[in-house]
Amino acid sequence: MKYNINGTTLQTLDIELNEGEAVYTESGGMSWMSANMTMKTDTRGGLMKGLGRMVSGESLFLTTYCPEQGVGTITFSSEFPGKIVPLELAEGQTMICQKDAFMAAEDAVKLEIHFRKKLGAGFFGGEGFVLQKVTGPGIAFLEIAGEITQYELQEGQILKVDPGHIAFFEPSVNYDITRVKGMKNMLFGGEGIFLAAVKGPGKIWLQSMPLSNLAGKLACHLSGK
């Protein structure tokens, strides 16, 4: 498989597949493809797994694409301004992602739901109890809002983050929530009552423009405020 990411703000992902290779995406995720690409749509693992993916922001059905009689090409497009991030995952390597981050992946990559274990993080962490989990081997492509910043947290190192800015992280990173100190800060600071507290060791990737922020700004303009 070969791929190329094009553009700056609203990127596209071009994938070239040899015969016998395949990629899959959520239902309706394809933009254009060569005439020799075939499609197979199913729940990919059964109805319960499909329903679980729906809770994590994906569609009930996933579609697998593979070429016939030679090399085929397929293109996926961004749904919002941001970056397409390729994750080259080794056998058994896992990454935890925000809801609806998954764009496409090689056929060998496993897409599952991930439950937050702590009640506080689930209720107040900004994304609920359910996240996405991708596991290798293979390449998975994530769609991230805005620009990306990566941090490598050392053992015990803590970073406080507005929850909507968390794009994806390694499973070794501990995710919890912490309350903003001071009543005035909570009421008038503009950051809400809770922040995410991520603790190392491990890598975490943050996005500069949470979709909730973008939606709020658009709503203000559309309403004329």
CB 140 within 8 A of CB 105: yes
pLDDT at position 49 is: 56
Q: Which of 25-29, 53-57, 102-106 has the lowest mean pLDDT?
A: 53-57
Strand-by-strand arrangement of the 130-135 sheet: 110-115, 130-135, 94-97, 166-169, 202-207, 148-153
CB 25 within 8 A of CB 103: yes
pLDDT band at 103 (very low <50, low <70, confident <90, very high): very high
Mean pLDDT, residues 92-109: 93
Summarised one tens digit per residue, pLDDT across range 105-152 is: 999 999 988 766 554 444 444 444 578 899 999 999 999 999 999 999
pLDDT at position 121 is: 41
Mean pLDDT, residues 18-32: 91
Domains of the chain: 2-218 (3.60.160.10)
For residue 45, give both structure tokens. 């693992």
Summarised one tens digit per residue, pLDDT across range 156-166 is: 999 999 888 99
pTM: 0.82
pLDDT at position 198 is: 92
Closest CA to 23 of 65, 60, 61: 65
CB 134 within 8 A of CB 89: yes
